[in-house]
Amino acid sequence: MSLFFTHSLRPFFTILICCLLFSKGQGQALNKGLSTKSEWVHVDARGKLKYKTLPSGDQIMDFSYAGYRGGGVSIPSPEVKIILKPLPGDNTESIQHAINKVSEMKLINGFRGTVLLEPGTYNCEQQIVIKTSGVVLRGSGAVENGSIINLTGKPHVAVSVRGDVRIKTTAISSTFAEVYVPSGAMSFNLNKVDGFKVGDTIRIAKPVTDAWVALMQMDGLVRDGKKQIWMNGEITTDRVITHIKKNSITVDVPLTDNYDLKYLNPIGVQVTKINTSGMLYQIGIENFRIISPAQSVTINEGSNKAFTMSGVTDAWAKNIDVFNTVISVSITGKRITIENLNIMHNLPTIGAAKPADLNGSGQQILFNKCTIKGDNLFFFGTGAKVTGPVVLLNCIFRGNGWIQPHQRWATGLLVDNCEVPDGGIDFMNRGIMGSGHGWTIGWAVAWNSSAKSFLNQQPPGAANWVIGGKGEKQKRAIPFESKPDLQEGIYDSYLQQVTPQSLYLTQLSERLGSKAVKNIGY
């Protein structure tokens, strides 16, 4: 049976899913039939979100800053400058030449223009690269008779968006003055603010000290008689200063982690003004299919991939159907929306080490209305030292797979109204797996989501929440040990959904108004 025949009903099911998601996002957002309130976040009598804090002051963060241009902004439709038709043989050079021509055009309101692929099949033996700001690659639809990028030749990435980012630190620096800065905070005190000004980009560096590693109980990882190093160096996250008052700094996005000087001295938390060059801006890919031959491979073998985005801010990928790629999508940029991405696998990958179809390892990333169907994979994972926020909103993942942040301390993940009926949602300690992945995630929230199973574990000095979740609770020891079971994370209103239906959409509406919610299709 051909791939096209197999998916000939795809447009019908796409419409059906979209209708269901629309109903879910619109109708349920009105909180009809939902009476249970979370003690951790709920709408108070004044119609405002009220947050419960931990004794240390930490709270569930405002995740609404995730997405294109920081959330709540409509994805634009820049003017078409070049139109292409499919050619016999390899189309890589033709498409790349058109992108390069548009890349030379003048920026107008942030964009140079769009390359439009007319309907048809574009065989591509090599990756298509976008490395200039303001360029959009658009197809004529992700349907069977739309625009199809057909991956031929040796395994490669279909589309790569990549900037050559260079960070230069300045002499303007300070350190946290407070003994404890909680997760979710937007303001903090510095020992001095000399030289800092509103609009500066700052890098906040949390040192990976022996004391903090010991607190996290990650100092005793041993595999095959060899000590495993969970992490070293520092964990950095970048913010923009929006206000300065005396020695208090306010930043543009909440902090996704806490900073406890009891475990971070004598180095302390460094705050340094940085200058960035080589970052790309305003780039989009949309409205086409990516097709690979079915691949039954291990993660270490060469495989076709769908697209990557790195070194880019304010970008998007939307309305893209992907067939049979492995480790399909990698996003390590900032303020990016991935919307209506549908990935389908005809064959499972091989081996105990599983690939991640979605790698969300950037900052302010929104995966909105995405679907995956496949087996023996991680639907979503994160890399090391990821500082988010990252949001999965109204996503449906079917098959033997997991939403599972993957290694070495990511923070600030929201899984909002997602469904994993055949697999799991895991906020966990992976121990010595993968040469010492250890604690994978802190300050994560699963909100009104359902799964076959939940594994929600509580990192020392941090928290993870499952609120309004439906699925089997699991308890486990650290991998390769039989006992004791690790402490459970926080469960609230288990098996009963809560109001508001969507945490992300409600936070977005409160921060920017109802128009921002409409701007992203709800």
The fraction of the chain above a pLDDT of 70, given in percent, is 93
Res 35: pLDDT: 67
Read off the pLDDT of residues 410-444 as tens digits, 9 standing for 90 and up.
999 999 999 999 999 999 999 999 889 999 999 99
Res 34: pLDDT: 54
Read off the pLDDT of residues 203-223 as tens digits, 9 standing for 90 and up.
999 999 999 999 999 999 998
Which range has the worst mean pLDDT, 222-231, 260-269, 331-340, 356-365? 222-231
Taking Cα atoms as reference points, which of 268, 144, 216 lies closest to residue 438?
Answer: 216
Order the strands of the 201-207 sheet from edge to edge: 166-175, 270-277, 201-207, 234-245, 248-251, 187-189
- Mean pLDDT over 468-479 rounds to 96
φ, ψ dihedrals at 437, nearest 5°: -65, -35
pLDDT score of 25 more than 90? no
| Strand 259-260 relative to strand 187-189, pairing | unpaired
Res 300: pLDDT: 79
Taking Cα atoms as reference points, which of 130, 490, 478 lies closest to residue 281?
Answer: 130
Q: Cα–Cα distances in Å, from 73 out to 212, 352, 512, 519? A: 38, 40, 10, 6
Q: What is the mean pLDDT of the chain?
A: 93
- Mean pLDDT over 338-358 rounds to 91
pLDDT score of 19 more than 60? no
Res 11: pLDDT: 42
The model's pTM is 0.93
pLDDT score of 119 more than 80? yes
Q: Cα–Cα distances in Å, from 499 out to 23, 131, 447, 502, 521? A: 16, 43, 10, 8, 20
Confidence of residue 76 (pLDDT cuts 50, 70, 90): very high
Amino acid identity at 50: K
Q: How far apart are CA 337 and CA 314, in angstroms?
A: 8
Q: Are 186 and 254 in contact (CB under 8 A)?
A: yes
Taking Cα atoms as reference points, which of 420, 380, 385, 422 lies closest to residue 404?
Answer: 380
Res 2: pLDDT: 36
Q: Are 253 and 362 in contact (CB under 8 A)?
A: no
Q: Cα–Cα distances in Å, from 148 out to 85, 143, 328? A: 11, 9, 16
Res 516: pLDDT: 98
